[in-house]
Every structure is written in C-alpha cells, then in structure tokens.
C-alpha cells in the first residue's frame, strides 16, 4: 500500500536512531516544525484532510480482527507536564470510531498496582486485536518519575530499560505495532502554559502545585528522558521526538505518524467466509 505523502520523510526526521549513543535534548528545538506542509493555516488544513484516511484504516484494522488477524496499534505518549498529551489524544482521535480506540492514562500506581511488578498494570491495559490503544504516560514512568524523585533505588530502575525493551519486542512479536512519541516542550513554553492554567478559572482543575516543584527538577527530567530515548529506541519500537511548543504542528506530526504506522500495517477487509450471492438471493426472497 502506498505510504502517505511526506510521512516517510517525517518519520526519518523525527525518529531517534537506535544505538545512536548519548543524546542531548538541548540540541532539539521544541519550537521547530520539521516537515510541516507550511505555516499554521496550511498545517491545520492538512490535519483535517488526513482524518478520512485515518478513519478508513482504523475501520479496516478492526474489520480484519474479526477474521482472527492479531494486529493492533499502541501509541505511547510521554512528555513533561503541559506538553499536550491529553490534547494530542483529543485531536488525533477526532473522527475515529471510539469503540475501536482504547485510551488509558497512567497516574501514580495504586496500592494494588505497587504490589505487582511494574508492567502488571500495563499488560492489563493493552489494546485488543483490531484496536488502537493510546497510553497517556506509560510504563516509562517507572524510569522517569521513579528515577527523578528517587522513588526506588538506582539498582531497581536501572534494570528496567532492558525489561522494557524485551517487553516491547514481545508485543511486536505478538502482532503489535508501537508508535512511541516524546512531546518535547520548552522550559519557557511550559511556564506560559502553567500560567494560563492559573489565570483562567476554567483551567484551575488542570493545575497541580506539584508542577512548580517539578520545574525545579527540569534538568533531572531532561536527563531521564534522554536516557529513555537513547536506551529504549529500538528497531522494533523506535522513539520519535515531536516538537510540542506549537500545538498545531504537534497535532499534525502525531497524526501523520499515526497514519503512516497504520499504512505500514496495511489493514484490509477480510473476505467473506459465506456464500455472498446465495445469501443475497435468500434476502431478496424475504
């Protein structure tokens, strides 16, 4: 199946090459718009234009699962607070059939979840065959916030990179396609978005005083994210760094990556396992 125009180029531009070695996030411009079809207006139009194709491919993905095809797609979204994980889900999922999209947000683990290995709650939330799953935060929190806030000994979280890589390889072997996106927001842009939440009463529910404390840990978080991108971008499940300061670009880029990954799967409607002409004739006689 032909790939969406420009998506292959975007994928190569945003992809973190496996085995590339140490990664410096300061080298990535969070306000950049690599590969965009133009300015804000043209990019917004391009985002709308891809929705019918996304909906078509989603329907095909679900349809082929009814014939036993195990394939499914999992989108992993990570990023600092205000980077737009929730907004990305909202915009990208617009036009998709909600019955075929499974969105899961991972907050601090519950007491029950802490009593199990860290991947236990992740496995329970995986999409079924034919579904598109979206993780707003994910298993990577156990090598991000756990590392930065020292919620577990270094010996514990440092082993998890390899555990995650093996886990994701097993998913791919079982028919998953993984799209892992790091929404890269700048330090100054985050301040502006946090201030907007404080200045608008309708946004107060989105503000957490802990966000201010986390800003003091910004260098540590950037180091932790760099380690994730370096150690867990694999051939089977690479990471993509999407500049997130411009929301219109962020939504277009993630939507384009999603479309490209669906086209890589190449879902198709299954052939009927029954006599179509015969059943049509019977129906006409009723």
Q: Is residue 195 part of a domain?
A: yes
Is 100 inside any structural domain?
A: yes
Q: pLDDT-derived band of residue 169, with 50, 70 and 90 as boundaries?
A: very high
Residue 62 belongs to a domain with what CATH number?
3.40.50.300
- Model confidence band, residue 164 (pLDDT cutoffs 50, 70, 90): very high
pLDDT digits (tens, 9 = 90+) for 85-135: 999 999 888 899 999 999 999 999 999 999 999 999 999 999 999 999 999
pLDDT for position 3: 42
In the numeric block, the tokens 């195990």 are attached to: 70
Residues 107 and 210: beta-carbon distance below 8 Å: no
- Residue 145 C-alpha from the chain's centroid: 18
The CA distances from residue 250 to 109, 242, 261, in Å, are 28, 6, 17
- Per residue in 15-62, pLDDT (tens digit) is 999 988 889 999 999 999 999 999 999 999 999 999 999 999 999 999
Q: What digits encode the pLDDT tens for the residues 260-272?
A: 999 999 999 999 9
140, 76 contact by CB (below 8 A)? yes
Rounded Cα gap, residues 67 and 69, in angstroms: 6
Is the residue at 1 inside a domain? no
* Residue ranges making up the domain that contains 255: 7-284
Q: Is residue 98 part of a domain?
A: yes
How deeply is 137 buried, as exposed, middle or buried, from its count of CB atoms within 10 A (0-12, 13-18, 19+)? middle
In a domain, 2, yes or no: no
Answer whether 0.75 is exceeded by the pTM. yes
Is position 86 within any domain? Answer: yes
Structural domains counted in the chain: 1
């Amino acid at each position: 199946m032909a790939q969406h125009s420009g998506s292959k180029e975007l994928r190569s531009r945003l992809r973190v090459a496996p085995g590339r070695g140490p990664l410096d996030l300061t080298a990535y411009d969070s306000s950049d718009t690599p590969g965009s079809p133009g300015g804000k207006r043209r990019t917004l139009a391009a985002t709308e234009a891809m929705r019918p194709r996304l909906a078509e491919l989603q329907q095909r993905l679900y349809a082929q699962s009814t014939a036993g095809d195990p394939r499914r797609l999992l989108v992993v979204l990570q990023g600092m607070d205000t980077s737009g994980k929730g907004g990305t889900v909202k915009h990208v999922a617009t036009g998709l059939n909600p019955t075929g999209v499974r969105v899961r947000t991972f907050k601090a683990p519950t007491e029950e979840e802490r009593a199990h290995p860290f991947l236990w709650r992740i496995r329970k939330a995986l999409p079924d065959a034919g579904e598109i799953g979206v993780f707003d935060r994910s298993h990577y929190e156990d090598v991000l916030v756990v590392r930065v806030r020292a919620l577990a000994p270094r010996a514990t979280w440092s082993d998890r990179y390899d555990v995650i890589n093996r886990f994701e390889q097993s998913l791919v072997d079982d028919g998953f396609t993984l799209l892992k996106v790091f929404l890269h927001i700048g330090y100054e842009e985050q301040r502006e978005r946090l201030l907007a939440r404080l200045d608008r009463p309708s946004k107060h529910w989105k503000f957490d005083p802990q966000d201010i404390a986390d800003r003091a840990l910004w260098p540590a978080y950037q180091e932790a994210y760099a380690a994730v991108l370096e150690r867990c971008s694999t051939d089977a499940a690479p990471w993509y760094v999407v500049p997130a300061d411009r929301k219109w670009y962020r939504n277009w880029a993630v939507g384009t990556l999603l479309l490209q990954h669906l086209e890589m799967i190449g879902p198709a409607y299954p052939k009927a396992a029954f006599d179509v002409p015969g059943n049509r004739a019977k129906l006409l006689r009723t």
